[in-house]
Amino acid sequence: MKSPIKLRLTGFLATVALGAILIGWTERHAWRQTDQLQKRFEAMQRGGYHLADHLEAAVLRLNSTLFRFDLREDPADRIRFRQDSDALKVWLAERRSSSGSEDERELLQQTEAALADYLTNALQILEESAQTAGPGSPAALFERTEQESDRLLGLGGQLAKAQRELLQFALADSHQALAELKFLLAVSLGLLIVLSMSLTVIVYRGMIAPLRTKLIESRALIERQEKLASLGVLAAGVAHEIRNPLTAIKARLFTQRKLLPEDSEPLEDNRFISDEILRLDTIIKDFLLFARPSEPQFEMAKATTPFRELGDLFRPELEKDSIELKCEFLADPQIKADSQQVKQVLLNLIKNAAESIGQNGMITLRTRTKLARLGTRSAHVAVLEVEDTGKGIPSEVQKRLFDPFFTTKETGTGLGLSIAARILEKHGGALEYQTQVGRGTVFSVILPIAQCDDSQLR
């Protein structure tokens, strides 16, 4: 299974890749559309929007040359006529080969045929004019040349019409392409906004929020460690300065008790003072255990072993208060732990659960496995749960639940959960809880699994 960091990184990279693909596709499509429009207009420009005007001007120039030759009989006009006619034929052939419209190519072919007929008749006019001594009739020659060129000029008009239609089609295509580009840009902008928002959410939830949570947890841990360090410094002095006087007082009380008569008021005072000294001694022991916990003696054990032993110990006592003790062993992995310290933790949790219920309820002892984060890595862990149907933990109490010397009990020291958390830290584990006011609480002891196989993970 992928770790949460890998999943967040995968989601982050997938979002970036999707955005890059979208931008690249939109840019490529827009570039291609723009390039096609540019090529189309360049082709139309090369073909010439004034193709008909060029043809008409060329025909009129040929007519003028032909008419001038008839008037002057200058051989240069004859040569110029042939050069202009050859240039016009080449120009028509080039326009036909580069035309992008089938109708235009057909008109150009008809124009070439009409030009051939025109040149044939024009050459005949030139020959007749050369054979005639003196200038011929200008009116008659002009009339004959106009008749031959009318067909060419008519085809020029049709070419102009075809050019206008081609321009209208090109403009229509351009408008459609621009509309498509606008739509694509709008869609791309919307998708980019959505992707940016998604990316922001992924980055915040996947990176910033966990870092913020870790920062808060680290700050709380540092504050807690500072408190523990202060308590550790005080622990030795407190033990030395208080326990020795208490031992002396206990010895004097024991000696005095022998001299006091039974059922006397001084004997009752003696017993009361002795009980209070015993309570003080317990507080000091708990304080020393919390401030300077002993190093755990690790040994291999099954996760259900401490629950089985404590269940047999607590069941008769709980039945007196009508509290049912239920066991749900969903898994039984091997753990490496100090069995006595783990039992001390679970014993404290079971006692707290019984006190939270009071009368008529149920305590469930459960073992299972799960994937959890311990330190800087994720691993399968053993979970030992103590679930009760008690009153739950109010929110104002939850804030100080693991603070040393904080307790809601009249006779409690407020060190039970703090000691339990310290013991589990020594084991490389953790103590977690879930609670609902009026419905109960679940405390989970998290311990690393020593030997893991598929049969143990459920």
Q: What is the CATH number of the domain that holds 316?
A: 3.30.565.10
Average pLDDT over residues 40-56: 61
pLDDT of residue 50: 62
pLDDT of residue 453: 47
Q: pLDDT at residue 362 above 50?
A: yes
Q: Are residues 184 and 300 in the same domain?
A: no
pLDDT of residue 454: 46
Q: Are residues 44 and 175 in the same domain?
A: yes
Q: Are residues 191 and 300 in the same domain?
A: no
pLDDT of residue 329: 92
Nearest CA to 115 out of 78, 155, 144, 75 is that of 155
Q: Are residues 166 and 29 in the same domain?
A: yes
Choose the final residue of a domain: 164, 180, 199.
Answer: 199
Q: Are 394 and 437 in contact (CB under 8 A)?
A: yes
Choose the final residue of a domain: 199, 219, 249.
Answer: 199
274, part of any domain? no
Give the phi and the psi of residue 141 in degrees, each rounded to 5.
-65, -40
The two three-digit tokens of residue 245, written as one number: 């006087």
Q: Are residues 170 and 35 in the same domain?
A: yes
Nearest CA to 68 out of 55, 81, 58 is that of 81
Q: Are residues 39 and 164 in the same domain?
A: yes
Minimum mean pLDDT range among 276-290, 333-347, 379-393: 276-290
Q: Are 195 and 15 in contact (CB under 8 A)?
A: yes
pLDDT of residue 383: 94
Q: Are residues 188 and 334 in the same domain?
A: no
Looking at beta carbons, which pairs linking 310-315 to residues 24 or more positions away fall under 8 Å? 310/343, 310/346, 310/347, 310/350, 310/365, 311/365, 314/350, 314/354
247, part of any domain? no
Q: Are 418 and 402 in contact (CB under 8 A)?
A: yes
Q: The CATH number of the domain where 153 resides is what?
A: 1.20.120.1730
Q: What does pLDDT average to over the chain? A: 76
Percent of the residues in the chain that have a pLDDT greater than 70, as a whole number? 73
180, part of any domain? yes
The two three-digit tokens of residue 96, written as one number: 């036909």
What's the per-residue H, E or C state across the chain? CCCHHHHHHHHHHHHHHHHHHHHHHHHHHHHHHHHHHHHHHHHHHHHCCCHHHHHHHHHHHHHHHHHHHHHHCCHHHHHHHHHHHHHHHHHHHHHHHHCCCHHHHHHHHHHHHHHHHHHHHHHHHHHHHHHCCCCCCHHHHHHHHHHHHHHHHHHHHHHHHHHHHHHHHHHHHHHHHHHHHHHHHHHHHHHHHHHHHHHHHHHHHHHHHHHHHHHHHHHHHHHHHHHHHHHHHHHHHHHHHHHHHHHHHHHHHHHHHHHCCCCCHHHHHHHHHHHHHHHHHHHHHHHHHHHCCCCCCCEEEECCHHHHHHHHHHHHHHHHCCEEEEEEECCCCEEEECHHHHHHHHHHHHHHHHHHHCCCEEEEEEEEEEEEEECCEEEEEEEEEEEECCCCCCHHHHCCCCCCCCCCCCCCCCCHHHHHHHHHHHCCCEEEEEEECCCEEEEEEEEEEEECCHHHCC
Choose the final residue of a domain: 179, 199, 219.
Answer: 199
d(CA 13, CA 19): 10
User: Could you tell me which residue, 348 or 206, shows the higher pLDDT?
Assistant: 348
Q: Are 364 and 385 in contact (CB under 8 A)?
A: yes
345, part of any domain? yes
Q: pLDDT digit string (tens) for 210-265?
A: 777 778 877 776 776 676 666 666 665 666 677 778 778 888 888 888 788 887 88
Q: Are residues 178 and 304 in the same domain?
A: no
Q: Are 330 and 367 in contact (CB under 8 A)?
A: yes
Q: pLDDT at residue 18 above 90?
A: no
Q: Are residues 40 and 173 in the same domain?
A: yes
pLDDT of residue 368: 93
Average pLDDT over residues 185-212: 74
pLDDT of residue 6: 64
Distance in angstroms between the alpha carbons of the first and the last residue of the chain: 15
Q: Are residues 311 and 424 in the same domain?
A: yes
Q: pLDDT digit string (tens) for 115-170?
A: 787 777 777 766 666 665 455 444 555 566 666 677 777 776 776 676 667 667 76
Q: pLDDT digit string (tens) for 205-225?
A: 766 777 777 788 777 767 766
Q: Are residues 183 and 325 in the same domain?
A: no
Q: Are residues 192 and 329 in the same domain?
A: no
363, part of any domain? yes
pLDDT of residue 302: 92
Q: pLDDT digit string (tens) for 410-456?
A: 666 667 787 888 888 888 888 899 998 888 999 999 999 886 544 44
pLDDT of residue 1: 40
193, part of any domain? yes
Which domain covers residue 117, as residue numbers? 4-199
State the total domains in the chain: 2
286, part of any domain? no
119, part of any domain? yes
pLDDT of residue 443: 93
d(CA 202, CA 12): 7
Provide CB contacts within 8 A for 407, sequence distance 6+.
413, 414
pLDDT of residue 48: 46
